[in-house]
Amino acid sequence: MVPVIILGLWIYVFETNSFASQVEKVKIYQSYFPVFMQSNFILSLIVLVSSLIAIVMGGIGMSKTFVSRKIISILIIIAASLIVLLQLFSMM
């Protein structure tokens, strides 16, 4: 949930402040976080680590015998993998 919330906040800030410059939008976005998390690199690492944890937890959930849990685990793994790819490409 953490990566989805952080990316959702990013989208929210950019949609609600359409007349602000890019620098102002980034400052508004960073103002939502505590001081130690206001670095873009730290936020990217948090999203990456959270997504990797979600992939591991989804893999553990795949071992369950219930079909509904397997489907949820597959969806979590797919979503987390896409978020990891997005973060890796944005860090370049």
Residue 22 · residue 16 · CB < 8 Å = no
Query: Following DSSP, what letter does each residue of 40-76 receive, concatenated?
Result: HHHHHHHHHHHHHHHHHHHHHHTTSS-HHHHHHHHHH
Indicate the helix (H) or strand (E) that contains 11. Answer: helix 2-16
pLDDT digits (tens, 9 = 90+) for 10-40: 899 999 988 888 899 989 999 999 988 888 8
pLDDT digits (tens, 9 = 90+) for 43-81: 888 999 999 999 999 888 888 778 888 888 899 999 999
Q: What is the pLDDT of residue 69?
A: 85
